[in-house]
């Protein structure tokens, strides 16, 4: 059943996109590990970690596109789910440090020793095990999204009001995580990681493995999204996006559909955050910043809302531009560039990059079909009937 659903969901464009991702997942680590550093084809570990971070952002953008592009839910707080997944992974990485920390405490992280915490908080129990941490990467953001969505969607909060509430949610979490007595490192967050699954997190081989894991997660996330939007569930989501009141009048439980897709999207964002942390080496409350969530929405808008591939492309392109701008003399002007880019895309390319290209291709194809039909009528041949 499942292979059949996947096969029906993936068209030639999607298969080509997945092939490109798989090629990148194999080529980049190979050029880092198997090529001599003196070769012009060599890719440094810094490059591997940097583009691994971009892939995590791409998975976050994909999660946002699933709910915004296909269900009309504009979340300005998805950074909260991304950060919760990151903190779950960060807690596991902190528990792996042990006596190698500054204060050499076998159980307590350094910041707890510094703040004179007498013992490990209960909610830190179990994070010394990777399986438990991986479970919490999905549970923490998924549970928050489920509870939040249950109340928001049952109250029929939609549009800009829902966007403002999601932004308030992530801002409240940011304020909470900034507090030292919250037990998550305060404004410094969690850092100074040593190992992941027994491997040095700074080693080139570990960075390459994390990059490949990010590619695999992005591929899996893309396939899941394609299966959803190509199924009957996807058609109902699009109906909710375009005419929610009419869809509810037809008998569909709109709140249930919204809740399911919103929770799934939050879990995807959590996985993105979990893969992001070991590659960047730190997680702090700034990841909860509403500005980060708004940036993620801009990635989707630039790439193309409702295209999936556009969300991935937009995340990579915008963040590559951010890296280029913020590493030189133009650093103070990056926010102006980002705002100008969003305005320009909204006015000139409202469908985004990929959405505009797809629109042009459909117009060219429809124009070609019309020309063929006119030629057939001119010579007395029957016109080709469109497929039913």
- Residues belonging to the chain: 388
Give yes or no for residue 368 having a pLDDT over 70. no
Please state the three-class secondary structure of the chain as a single string.
Answer: CHHHHHHHHCCHHHHHHHHHHHHHHHHHHHHHHCCCCCCCCCCCHHHHHHHHHHHHHHHHHHHHHHHHHHHCCCCCCHHHHHHHHHHHHHHHHHHCCHHHCCCCCCCCCHHHHHCCCCCCCHHHCCCCCHHHHHHHHHHHHHHHHHHHHHHHHHCCCCHHHHHHHHHHHHHHHHHHHCCHHHCCCHHHCEECCCEECCEECCCHHHHHHHHHHHHHHHHHHHHHHHHHHHCHHHHHHHHHHHCHHHHHHCCCCHHHHHHHHHHHHHHHHHHHHHHHHHHHCEECHHHHCHHHHHHHHHHHHHHCCCCCHHHHHHHHHHHHHHHHHCCCCCHHHHHHHHHHHHHHHHHHCCCHHHHHHHHHHHHHHHHHHHHHHHHHHHCCCCCCCCCC
pLDDT at 370: 59
The residue assigned the tokens 């291709």 is 361
Task: Write down the pLDDT at residue 165.
Answer: 96
Name which of 222, 304, 238 is nearest 73 in CA terms. 238
pLDDT tens digits for 66-94?
999 999 999 999 999 999 999 999 999 99
Give dist(CA 290, CA 270) in Å, integer.
Answer: 16
The larger pLDDT score, comparing residue 384 to residue 192, is at 192
Q: pLDDT band at 348, cuts 50/70/90?
A: confident
Average pLDDT (147-173) is 94
Task: Say yes or no to pLDDT of 387 above 50.
Answer: no
Q: What is the 3-state secondary structure (H, E, C) of 265-290?
A: HHHHHHHHHHHHHHHHCEECHHHHCH
Instruction: Provide the sign of the torsion angle of the four alpha carbons 153, 157, 158, 162, taken in this order.
Output: negative
Mean pLDDT of the chain: 90
Stretch 257-265: mean pLDDT: 97
Query: For residue 359, what pLDDT is reported?
Result: 84
Band of the pLDDT at 113, cuts 50, 70, 90? very high
Confidence of residue 373 (pLDDT cuts 50, 70, 90): low
Per-residue pLDDT, averaged over 142-165, amounts to 95
Residue 371's pLDDT is: 63
pLDDT confidence of residue 366? 76
Angstrom distance (rounded) from CA 179 to CA 140:
19
**Mean pLDDT (whole number) for 264-273:** 97
Q: How confident is the model at residue 388 (pLDDT cuts 50, 70, 90)?
A: very low
pLDDT (mean) for 346-367: 84
Cα 196 → chain centroid: 22
Q: How many CA atoms lie within 13 A of 301 on its CB side?
A: 22
Kindly tell me if the per-residue pLDDT of 261 is higher than 70: yes
Residue 272 has pLDDT above 70, yes or no: yes
Task: Tell me the pLDDT band of 341, cut-offs 50, 70 and 90.
Answer: confident
């Amino acid at each position: 059943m499942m292979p059949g659903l996947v096969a029906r969901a993936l068209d030639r464009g999607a298969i080509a996109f997945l092939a490109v991702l798989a090629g990148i997942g194999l080529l980049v680590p190979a050029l880092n590990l198997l090529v001599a550093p003196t070769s012009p084809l060599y890719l440094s570990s810094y490059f591997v970690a940097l583009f691994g971070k971009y892939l995590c952002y791409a998975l976050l953008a994909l999660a946002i596109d699933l709910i915004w592009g296909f269900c009309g839910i504009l979340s300005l707080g998805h950074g909260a789910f991304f950060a919760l997944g990151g903190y779950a992974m960060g807690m596991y990485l902190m528990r792996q440090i042990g006596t190698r920390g500054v204060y050499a405490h076998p159980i307590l992280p350094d910041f707890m020793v510094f703040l004179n915490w007498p013992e490990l908080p209960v909610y830190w129990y179990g994070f010394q095990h990777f399986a438990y941490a991986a479970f919490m990467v999905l549970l923490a953001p998924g549970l928050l999204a489920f509870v939040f969505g249950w109340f928001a969607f049952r109250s029929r909060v939609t549009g800009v009001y829902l966007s403002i509430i999601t932004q308030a949610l992530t801002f409240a979490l940011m304020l909470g995580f900034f507090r030292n007595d919250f037990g998550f490192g305060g404004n410094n967050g969690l850092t100074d990681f040593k190992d992941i699954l027994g491997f040095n997190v700074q080693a080139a081989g570990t960075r390459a493995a994390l990059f490949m894991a990010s590619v695999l997660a992005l591929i899996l996330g893309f396939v899941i999204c394609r299966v959803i939007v190509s199924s009957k569930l996807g058609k109902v989501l699009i109906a909710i996006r375009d005419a929610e009141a009419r869809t509810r009048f037809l008998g569909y439980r709109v709140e249930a559909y919204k809740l399911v897709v919103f929770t799934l999207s939050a879990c995807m964002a959590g996985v993105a955050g979990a893969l992001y942390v070991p590659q960047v080496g730190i997680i702090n409350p700034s990841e909860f910043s509403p500005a980060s969530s708004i940036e993620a929405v801009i990635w989707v808008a630039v790439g193309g809302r409702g295209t999936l591939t556009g969300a991935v492309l937009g995340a990579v392109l915008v963040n590559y531009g951010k890296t280029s701008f913020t590493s030189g003399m133009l650093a103070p002007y990056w926010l102006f560039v980002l705002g100008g880019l969003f305005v320009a895309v909204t006015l000139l390319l409202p469908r985004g990059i990929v959405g505009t290209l797809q629109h042009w291709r459909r117009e060219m194809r429809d124009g070609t079909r019309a020309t063929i039909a006119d030629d057939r009528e001119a010579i007395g041949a029957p016109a080709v009937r469109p497929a039913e």
